[in-house]
Chains A and B, each alone.
Chain A
């Protein structure tokens, strides 16, 4: 429409926009819903992070598996450990299946394990699936006095951590309170890469709660030459490679059935390493379309090849399965949730270090 028509005052300008808008909304009813649509994928981390990399990889492929071939645009919305993005998907995003959230597993369990309340209920989100599962590990420099996991039950081990709420802090703390390990947690590193650098320069002896695939991709020589060794897997099932090497799982050291269940509850977030969610209230047929497309995209040969090049581990978990898992986690008996939360509650002041 010619701009010249819209000369005069403000009101006319707005009217012009209105006319343009209504003309563009007209569409045929027989076509698939997603034809010509745009899906926004809201990522709970800033551009360039691991969650962002996965989301962009998925966004490039997934549109082709949805009838109507919508385009998928990645939007970054970092903040509050992805609780902001989760809240956005829960209450603000459109409920017509044109908004997908990529959030952290921690945000899924936030109401259960954290003392900070959030204004939304992650158990009511619709789960599209998870792109991979992560096996967290504890590893130490091989020149440290602690050589095997049982040693850390009697000897102190200095591990680097970023902050409460991060796996590098929460998981060693959990082992300390449930299994009685003696991890001395040095807190404040900005992220896992900085912890790894501190390990390399000997400032810390080890780290606990860093994903195995990522660390192996960055430092393959460490484990090949045994300059750094894996003590224990912080996972309910373990990683195939590590299971083959007989690396123990933390759950094996539980002293009671309740202890084991508390550990398993916290570790469960590793199973859905990269969860994708929809707002509650999306029409069921569109949920089905998106869930199918999610798995199809992640099993696509092109995506797998690209992921392999980027050293990204892809291990899709279907939406239905994940939804059931989340429901069962949220149905955990209250006393176990309470114990887990207590085990994860932040340590007291640094002035009285727990030795």
Chain B
């Protein structure tokens, strides 16, 4: 007991010393500066804290370690606080880990509850960040032994448990969900295979060697469909809201968080826990927390996805906690838990700190200073957001002709930032079309993301586990427990579903002769796509094709069943009405695990022509980018769009374009110095290369 007491006293003393040191005014200033930059980077879709941290690193060389980490962690910890703003207002995830926020936050904004959703997001971000930091603070003495216990088999089991969430996140369309999850895994396999170096599905392009980057795919899947539907509906995102309502909504959002504090605690632990496991991407913590809330919260399966504030809370509390978690392996072992942490590791060495046991004993106060920095940054970040919140909330009431051009331009550049290549643009467009079709035809998108992010680690750690331990790893206690949990998580909802349908017998009797409907074309396309991928995998080396073929076959099986279901299932309700209503009727009464399309009232013809128009804009954008470069294209796009769609007044367009261009120029050309791709104009008239982005 005495030993524990002494240990606790030592920890408390270090924590106290760290707090006092951090409270010095100049260090607080650095922390605040970091927070401001983090918020801005978070709000702009597609850019995370990575580039910002890399840029700031040299400036921290001359500082003392406390100030340096305050600045860097201030930035890293608050990007997740800024992320929900575009997610809620426009349905455009501000970062990889806030895609789940879109699911409930955006419907809330549409209902006129943007203020409440934003407020709940900030508050849960802050509380999540603090809980995550607390978890880190109290677990310091056991960090190293716990981390050393987690081997590759355990990482594999964690990933499998994560992917078993597909069952929950598929909602009422389990077959489609599993098929989408499998496709996600297969997309994750694109690129050079870690076992044999086979180039899988790279179509001879260097771009795909390292696999598809996550950002353009996510922006395509989640942002473009919402923007497209906005153009189709030709409305504002939300109806007019008065000022009082915003403040009332804000207060309501705060209350929501305190009423659901236990959910926040659980979700932040999920975020902190996953964030602390090196080698598993934390970009899915939002979905894991969301799935957890969906499984455990009362009545969640009826309201989630339709604008339930708990969905926002679950997602946002988890993604702010992950940065605290990512500190764990960085500090304890020098293995960065995230890309931002890899840069932080650079700062360690400059300040003569060696990650490892010393950080938990001799330099414990510096470790605690980091914990405090993360916690304080979350408070400052949320505070700053509250200050601007009423202005943000009003953005949702703007006409689509004002919202779309700016958001779409930034989405394009955000996607380009991922790997600074034309491939990003094509990926954005392809996944935009695919995501929009999935949304229209009620294919849940979350499972695809889950498969995409976790597919790679499942394959890696499965091969390591088998190669190293043959099959004995299956009997390691943690592995066995996690895998059992995964199996139960998948089988239970399935059985409940069958029971609800009146048992297998009734299910089998509910079929009829096949009847064709146009929306089945998408399912057929899906099957054809998977089949093509499986066929292309045949000549690969055994280890390279093992997982793709297993997963592909499963996808073919479930997608085939789904098609059979669509063709031969007796309709439960009258299958008339719009495209979306028909799709809804098909998948029954259970909630659809995705955003509702609000274009259902429009005739099919209008939907098709307006969506074609939307994607024509995108194509024209890319064509123009090839000719005159990205920044001039953004200007022309905004002008053309506002004149054609509005028409907006020139008095409005000119300042709009100037401000937008200036913002883009400073952020992407000056600050991030993106290597713009060559353009036709630059080739023909080299003197024009002086114009930003004309290369």
Please list the residues of chain A having a beta carbon within 8 angstroms of any beta carbon in chain B: 3, 7, 10, 13-14, 17-18, 20-22, 24-25, 40, 42, 46-49, 52-53, 56, 60, 73-81, 83-84, 87-88, 92, 116, 118-119, 158, 162-165, 186-190, 193-194, 196-198, 200-201, 203-204, 217-221, 306, 309-311, 346-351, 353
Given contacts A84-B421, A164-B197, 12 further A-B contacts (CB under 8 A): A7-B650, A40-B675, A47-B339, A60-B58, A75-B420, A163-B192, A164-B196, A187-B195, A193-B333, A196-B334, A197-B333, A351-B542
Note all chain A residues with C-beta closer than 8 A to B352. Answer: 309
Note all chain A residues with C-beta closer than 8 A to B622. Answer: none
- Measured between C-beta atoms, what is the minimum distance from B214 to chain A in Å? 13
Q: Contact: A52 with B54, CB < 8 Å?
A: yes
Note all chain B residues with C-beta closer than 8 A to A83. Answer: 206, 209
A163-B192, A190-B460 as given contacts; A75 in contact with B675, CB under 8 Å: yes
Note all chain A residues with C-beta closer than 8 A to B466. Answer: 350
- Measured between C-beta atoms, what is the minimum distance from B619 to chain A in Å? 18
A79-B206, A186-B468, A218-B354 as given contacts; A310 in contact with B346, CB under 8 Å: yes
Note all chain B residues with C-beta closer than 8 A to A189. Answer: 279, 460, 464
Note all chain B residues with C-beta closer than 8 A to A79. Answer: 206-207, 209-210, 419, 421
Q: Contact: A48 with B50, CB < 8 Å?
A: yes
Q: Contact: B658 with A3, CB < 8 Å?
A: yes
Note all chain B residues with C-beta closer than 8 A to A311. Answer: 349
Note all chain A residues with C-beta closer than 8 A to B349. Answer: 217, 309-311
What residue in chain A is nearest B333 (Cβ atoms)? A197
B467 interface hit (Cβ, 8 Å): yes
A47-B50, A188-B195 as given contacts; A198 in contact with B152, CB under 8 Å: yes
Bound together, the chains give a CA A3 to CA B656 distance in angstroms of: 13
Note all chain B residues with C-beta closer than 8 A to A306. Answer: 61
Q: Contact: A219 with B346, CB < 8 Å?
A: no
B132 interface hit (Cβ, 8 Å): no
- Measured between C-beta atoms, what is the minimum distance from B15 to chain A in Å? 26
B632 interface hit (Cβ, 8 Å): yes
Bound together, the chains give a CA A203 to CA B465 distance in angstroms of: 9
Bound together, the chains give a CA A20 to CA B631 distance in angstroms of: 15
What residue in chain A is nearest B357 (Cβ atoms)? A221
- Enumerate the 3 nearest inter-chain pairs by beta-carbon distance, A residue then B residue, closest first: A349-B542, A164-B197, A47-B54
Cβ-neighbour of B541 out of A46, A73, A309, A346 (below 8 A): A346
- Measured between C-beta atoms, what is the minimum distance from A183 to chain B in Å? 13
B490 interface hit (Cβ, 8 Å): no
B336 interface hit (Cβ, 8 Å): yes
Q: Contact: A47 with B343, CB < 8 Å?
A: yes
- Measured between C-beta atoms, what is the minimum distance from B471 to chain A in Å? 13
Bound together, the chains give a CA A87 to CA B677 distance in angstroms of: 13
Bound together, the chains give a CA A196 to CA B352 distance in angstroms of: 20
What residue in chain A is nearest B205 (Cβ atoms)? A80
Note all chain B residues with C-beta closer than 8 A to A190. Answer: 279, 460
A-contacting residues, B194-221, CB 8 Å: 194-199, 206-207, 209-210
What residue in chain A is nearest B342 (Cβ atoms)? A48
Report the contact-size class of chain B (Cβ under 8 Å from the partner). Answer: 35 or more
- Measured between C-beta atoms, what is the minimum distance from A209 to chain B in Å? 15
Bound together, the chains give a CA A198 to CA B464 distance in angstroms of: 11
Bound together, the chains give a CA A294 to CA B283 distance in angstroms of: 39
Q: Contact: B420 with A77, CB < 8 Å?
A: yes
10 contacts between A and B (CB under 8 A): A25-B690, A48-B57, A76-B54, A158-B468, A164-B194, A194-B278, A203-B152, A309-B61, A309-B352, A351-B543
Bound together, the chains give a CA A32 to CA B61 distance in angstroms of: 32
Please list the residues of chain B having a beta carbon within 8 angstroms of any beta carbon in chain A: 50-51, 53-55, 57-58, 61, 147-152, 192-199, 206-207, 209-210, 278-279, 329, 333-336, 339-340, 342-343, 346, 349-350, 352, 354-356, 419-421, 459-461, 463-464, 466-468, 541-543, 628, 632, 635-636, 639-640, 650, 654, 658, 673-675, 677-678, 687-688, 690-691
- Measured between C-beta atoms, what is the minimum distance from A91 to chain B in Å? 10
A187-B463, A219-B356 as given contacts; A48 in contact with B54, CB under 8 Å: yes
Bound together, the chains give a CA A116 to CA B206 distance in angstroms of: 11
Q: Which of B278, B342, B541: most chain A Cβ within 10 A?
A: B342
Note all chain B residues with C-beta closer than 8 A to A81. Answer: 209
Bound together, the chains give a CA A293 to CA B592 distance in angstroms of: 62
A81-B209, A349-B542 as given contacts; A310 in contact with B335, CB under 8 Å: no
Cβ-neighbour of A350 out of B58, B542, B654 (below 8 A): B542
- Measured between C-beta atoms, what is the minimum distance from B263 to chain A in Å? 32
What residue in chain B is nearest A187 (Cβ atoms)? B195
Note all chain B residues with C-beta closer than 8 A to A200. Answer: 148, 333
Q: Contact: B196 with A21, CB < 8 Å?
A: no
Bound together, the chains give a CA A204 to CA B152 distance in angstroms of: 11
Q: Contact: B419 with A17, CB < 8 Å?
A: no
Bound together, the chains give a CA A213 to CA B150 distance in angstroms of: 28
Bound together, the chains give a CA A249 to CA B674 distance in angstroms of: 43
Q: Contact: B152 with A42, CB < 8 Å?
A: no
Q: Contact: A80 with B206, CB < 8 Å?
A: yes
Note all chain A residues with C-beta closer than 8 A to B329. Answer: 197
Bound together, the chains give a CA A81 to CA B461 distance in angstroms of: 22
Note all chain B residues with C-beta closer than 8 A to A40. Answer: 673, 675
Q: Contact: A350 with B460, CB < 8 Å?
A: no
Q: Contact: B194 with A48, CB < 8 Å?
A: no
Q: Contact: B678 with A92, CB < 8 Å?
A: yes
Note all chain A residues with C-beta closer than 8 A to B340. Answer: 48
Note all chain B residues with C-beta closer than 8 A to A351. Answer: 542-543
Q: Contact: A21 with B690, CB < 8 Å?
A: yes
Q: Contact: B687 with A22, CB < 8 Å?
A: yes
Bound together, the chains give a CA A3 to CA B654 distance in angstroms of: 9
Bound together, the chains give a CA A219 to CA B333 distance in angstroms of: 10
Q: Contact: A187 with B333, CB < 8 Å?
A: no
